[in-house]
Amino acid sequence: MSAASSDPSGMATAADGKELKQERAVRTRETILHAAAQLFADKGYPSVTILDVAQLAGMTKGAVYFHYANKEALALAVTSEFYRRLPAIAESVEELGLSPIASVAELLMRTALALRDNTMMQAGARLQIESALIGIDLPVPFQDYTGLVRTWLERAVALGELQHSTPPHALARVIVSAFFGTQHISWVLHDRQDIAERVLEVAETVLPSCHDALRTCPSVQGCRKT
Amino acid sequence: MSAASSDPSGMATAADGKELKQERAVRTRETILHAAAQLFADKGYPSVTILDVAQLAGMTKGAVYFHYANKEALALAVTSEFYRRLPAIAESVEELGLSPIASVAELLMRTALALRDNTMMQAGARLQIESALIGIDLPVPFQDYTGLVRTWLERAVALGELQHSTPPHALARVIVSAFFGTQHISWVLHDRQDIAERVLEVAETVLPSCHDALRTCPSVQGCRKT
């Protein structure tokens, strides 16, 4: 059963064994995290039990409790992963070297597609909505994402790419509100199947003078083609 | 204890007694409905029990069950009341005889103020967010409200009050998404204390050519004064 006994060379040292054990622990934690994310996304936080998580992960309740103290800890871990992925999406956009306005549109589109296609993102979004039902404080939502959008809008104003009667800090709030509302309504009414079109509609409406910028966004072009 | 025995004239007929009984039943149902709304708004659907409702309403669990079969029935009654009030707000706006664009802005502002100040509205909004956790189908959200906004926007286009690159049906979706997102974020981050300013910001941003129309909205002017 131990890593050493399954080593065909029979040469495993104690240090190798410890490393393999740690790797296994990391993999087990990931398996549990993904099972929890799947269940939170599908059923909602209040309806999920540790037994559900253990069964989906293919292990005992004891094994789950060994890695996560309780359901709140699982919710926090899933939410933390969600809030790690949002800035990672922003970084992937930054690397494209688009104009600031195109970057905002591409960020919204990539976030939308991640919400449509990725269970961890769906779980994070649902846990945010249900956060008042979770007995611990989760990270404060919306603020970092709004700050990101604001930074790009300020750059756009500085570069003369954006002329809007609403100043960047307020426009960033409106864009994030419209994005959040759109993805929620798309989820409730259409199981997120129309999320890309709806978010593109938001970008085109709230940034109306930016059609040229939108033409440079890979995700926008991908959505228009389909 | 009976209505007849409390009648000072001693002349109450059986019919009077029946009427008084019915009135009492209506009042009792209302008391239960308001207690349930308060609890759903404060604690969320999954955390509320029929015992909580009975205690807040000042009656026995049996009395609550006499009027509502279960917690789902209470959620449906509160939600139905919420969806009765939204068109009532729209009618109150219609009666002002504002221009179509000003009517849209006034509708958003009145809905925002109702969400800030009225427990039944807060409960309806929270139950919508938690609807996937409620074991019955609630009315389909967003569609009627979006239809209302769309009708006004179409009138605005017909009257030449609105020139927007986004057509009315899509603009209505964006406006309702931005409104919904704004009120939710205001709730989560600021307990709805900034909801009026934030919704005004949405109206000014998404309908940017409509500053003259906004000056005719009573709720917009009220918000700007404070």
pLDDT tens for each residue of B99-112: 999 999 999 999 99
Of the candidates B46, B174, B185, the beta carbon closest to that of A205 is on B174
Whether A31 is covered by a domain: the verdict is no
Q: Look at residue B224 and tell me whether its pLDDT is greater than 90.
A: no
Whether A4 is covered by a domain: the verdict is no
Whether B175 is covered by a domain: the verdict is yes
Whether A44 is covered by a domain: the verdict is no
Confidence (pLDDT) at B19: 86
On whether any CB of chain B is under 8 Å from the CB of A14, the answer is no
Number of structural domains (chain A) is: 1
- Per DSSP, B137 falls in state P
Question: Which residues in chain B have Cβ-Cβ distances shorter than 8 Å to A132?
Answer: 44
Question: Which residues in chain A have Cβ-Cβ distances shorter than 8 Å to B125?
Answer: none
Of the candidates A179, A180, A205, the beta carbon closest to that of B206 is on A205
- For the stretch B66-71, contacts whose Cβ atoms lie closer than 8 Å and that sit 24 or more positions apart, written own/partner, are B67/B25, B67/B28, B67/B29, B67/B32, B68/B32, B68/B36, B71/B45
- Per-residue pLDDT tens digits for A48-61: 999 999 999 999 99
Mean pLDDT over B17-38 rounds to 94
Contact A143 B178 (CB under 8 A): no
Q: Which domain holds residue A123?
A: 76-225
Q: Residue B10 — pLDDT band, cuts 50, 70, 90?
A: low
Within 116-135 of A, beta carbons closer than 8 Å to B belong to 129-133
Q: Considering the entire predicted model, what is its pTM?
A: 0.91
Q: Residue A9 — pLDDT band, cuts 50, 70, 90?
A: low
Within 171-210 of A, beta carbons closer than 8 Å to B belong to 171, 173-174, 176-182, 184-185, 188-189, 198, 201-202, 204-206, 208
Q: Could you give the ipTM of this predicted complex? A: 0.90
Question: Which residues in chain B have Cβ-Cβ distances shorter than 8 Å to A184?
Answer: 180-181, 184
Whether B66 is covered by a domain: the verdict is no
What's the CATH number where A131 sits?
Answer: 1.10.357.10
Whether B13 is covered by a domain: the verdict is no
Of the candidates A46, A185, A198, the beta carbon closest to that of B180 is on A185
Contact A198 B173 (CB under 8 A): yes
Whether B162 is covered by a domain: the verdict is yes
On whether any CB of chain B is under 8 Å from the CB of A165, the answer is yes
Q: What is the average pLDDT score of chain A?
A: 91
Are A93 and A110 a contacting pair, CB within 8 Å?
yes
Whether A183 is covered by a domain: the verdict is yes
